[in-house]
Amino acid sequence: MKKITLLLIGLCLLAGSSLFAQTLPPQGTKKSLVVDGLFKPSIIEEKEPIPYPSIREADVVWSKTIWRIIDLRERINFPLYYPTDNLDTRKSFVQAIVEAAQAGTITLYDTDTDEFTEIFKPENLKDRFGAADRTETRERMDGTQETVTIRGDINWGEVQELLVKEIWYFDKHYSKMDVRIIGICPTRVYNKELRTSEENEVDETAEKLKQQLFWVYYPDARKVLANTPCYIGENEMAQISYDDLFIKRRFNSYIIAESDNQNNRRLDTYSRNDFEKMLKAEELKGKLLDFEHDLWEF
């Protein structure tokens, strides 16, 4: 009897959830014509980035460049990943960067190098995302043919990783180890398309392909990120900006490369085994902590 009751409750919940999914209005890209909430949010929109402490070259006695990956599929990194749809009130990290670049607020750099040597034009973004408009020839009912243009839409969900370039340094003036993010490069992870005579299909069994989209010089993007809120919990009023998230290091990541005297070696040059690479990443992370600890005597 209890099993039948639980089964009936489960079926009711399933039916209710499907009904809710059907009646939920679709999200769009248009701006709301009214104040869609208790008030119009303004705190983060008017916020200034947290000022960096001043640095003198003579005070920096040690520094090292680190490259790390932020996997946006990890739960702690969800505030950077979502929303993957176009919403009026919220933007993901990559959506905010792309919109600012298209508006001319920030500058994007090409991925040929991570030294910001070549500007990447915003009009090429849809091609880089694999969302360029394409034309198809279709047959009408009367047997004639027509050429139609299919508009490409960016799949924000494919941006699943962020490559971060940062510098760790010890400042003797403040007597502390600190870090500055220099640049961020979103990475698109997608399936390979199979070109057939009928339509484009996706090879789900093939290995995932990765493509670096563009580099953002972080100091120049701080103003935009400081005025863009991210959703970090169940309380909608407990929002912080993306700049706060990075400054406070509220993300999880792993190291993939470090600066050295051998072409800034990546960890995959030590081993192809993922487990061994993760161990090496933890070793480099421990070295950073040990270096700061060893500077002091107790």
Q: Which tens digit of pLDDT belongs to each residue from 98-149?
A: 999 999 999 999 999 999 999 999 999 988 998 877 777 777 777 777 777 7
Per-residue pLDDT tens for 82-102?
988 888 778 899 999 999 999
Q: Is residue 83 a part of any domain in this protein?
A: yes
Residue 171 in any domain: the answer is yes
Pairing of strands 240-241, 229-230: antiparallel
Q: What is the mean pLDDT of residues 50-63?
A: 91
> pTM score > 0.75 for this model?
yes
Read off the pLDDT of residues 226-263 as tens digits, 9 standing for 90 and up: 999 888 877 777 778 999 999 999 999 999 888 877 77
Angle at 235 between CA 42 and CA 92, to 5 degrees: 65
Query: Is residue 45 a part of any domain in this protein?
Result: no
**Cα–Cα distance for residue pair 232/246, rounded to 1 Å:** 13
Residue 26 clears pLDDT 60, i.e. is over it = no
Segment 53-75 mean pLDDT: 93
Tell me what the pLDDT averaged over the chain comes to: 80
The DSSP H or E segment spanning 212 is strand 209-212
> pLDDT value at position 290?
76
Count of structural domains within the chain: 1
Is 165:114 a contact under the CB 8 Å cutoff?
yes
5 lies in a domain?
Answer: no
Which of residues 22 and 152 earns the better pLDDT score?
152
Does residue 188 lie in a domain region? Answer: yes
Gap between the Cα atoms of 239 and 175, Å rounded: 32
- Say whether pLDDT at 23 is over 70: no
pLDDT band of residue 280 (cuts 50, 70, 90) is confident
Average pLDDT for 279-288: 78
Question: What pLDDT, on a 0 to 100 scale, did the predictor assign at position 5?
Answer: 52
Confidence bin at 19 (pLDDT 50/70/90): very low
Question: Which domain, by its residues, includes 212?
Answer: 62-126+159-294
